[in-house]
Amino acid sequence: MTPRFAEISRGVRDALGQDHRYAHVIRVARLADRLAQRHGEDPARARLAGLLHDLARLYTSERLVAECEARAMPIDAFERRNPIVLHARLGAELARERFGVTDEGVLDAIRRHTVAAGSMSRLDAIVYLADGVEPGRQFPERESFEALAFVDLDAAMAAVLRSSVAHLERQGLEAAPQTIAALATYRSVERTPLSA
Ligand SMILES: [Fe+2]
Ligand SMILES: [Fe+2]
């Protein structure tokens, strides 16, 4: 662990102000690091995105909308109906403003960690998966999804996205257009783990 990482960790703990959320981002950072190592991506970038992904997660809906508007960020119709998802895009801005992150790949991974996107980098997928299947999450397929993420990123993305959309449907909630687009993308490229 580099000093920079330790320093950022302290800053994140202060920024989040909640032990529960801090423990989550640490688990996400660790899992993202391991997934990056496994898949030949830069572990430091994955760890950084994991650590900073939820900086705005505890903001109220009103604050999310207000802070996005203050930065002249466009807010789409889905985001107006579901302001919570704005924590991802606003979080990337906070990572830049407060922690000096300029790596657009890291910032994109933060932006896409909640609703995903029709086109995602491998770093985006690693951070999305680390957030979705970290060991603190509790749902029946968690362990199998985590194992799959170490074998085949595309198949894991397809599986996690399919599960998320199904979960939303069961709850009578809408999935974001970006999530539907991501599922279509990964469905078209997924392979069975055994052929990977
Ligand atoms: Fe989040
Ligand atoms: Fe998260």
pLDDT in tens, 155-176: 999 999 999 999 999 999 999 9
Structural domain contains residue 92: yes
Long-range (24+ apart) CB contacts under 8 A made by 33-36 are 34/150, 35/126, 35/129, 35/130, 35/149, 35/150, 35/153, 36/123, 36/126
Cα-to-centroid distance, 135 and ligand 2 (Å): 12
pLDDT of the residue at 66: 98
Structural domain contains residue 194: no
The confidence band for 1, taking pLDDT boundaries of 50, 70 and 90, is very low
pLDDT of the residue at 191: 60
Tens digit of pLDDT for each residue in 129-156?
999 999 999 999 999 999 999 999 999 9
Cα-to-centroid distance, 4 and ligand 1 (Å): 22
Structural domain contains residue 163: yes
Cα-to-centroid distance, 27 and ligand 1 (Å): 13
d(CA 90, CA 48): 16
pTM score of the predicted model: 0.94
The confidence band for 189, taking pLDDT boundaries of 50, 70 and 90, is confident
Show the CA angle centred on residue 163, arms to residues 145 and 144, nearest 5°.
15
Residue closest to 48 by CA, chosen among 124, 111, 101, 97: 101
Which residue segment(s) compose the domain that 96 sits in?
Answer: 3-189
Mean of the per-residue pLDDT values of the chain = 95
Cα-to-centroid distance, 54 and ligand 1 (Å): 5
* CATH number of the structural domain spanning residue 28: 1.10.3210.10
Cα-to-centroid distance, 8 and ligand 1 (Å): 18
Work out the burial of residue 188: count CB atoms within 10 Å of its CB; fewer than 13 is exposed, 13-18 middle, 19 or more buried. Answer: exposed
Instruction: Return the DSSP state at 56.
Output: T
Structural domain contains residue 113: yes
Cα-to-centroid distance, 184 and ligand 2 (Å): 23
Instruction: Quote the number of domains for the chain.
Output: 1
Cα-to-centroid distance, 121 and ligand 1 (Å): 18
Structural domain contains residue 195: no
Structural domain contains residue 61: yes
Structural domain contains residue 114: yes
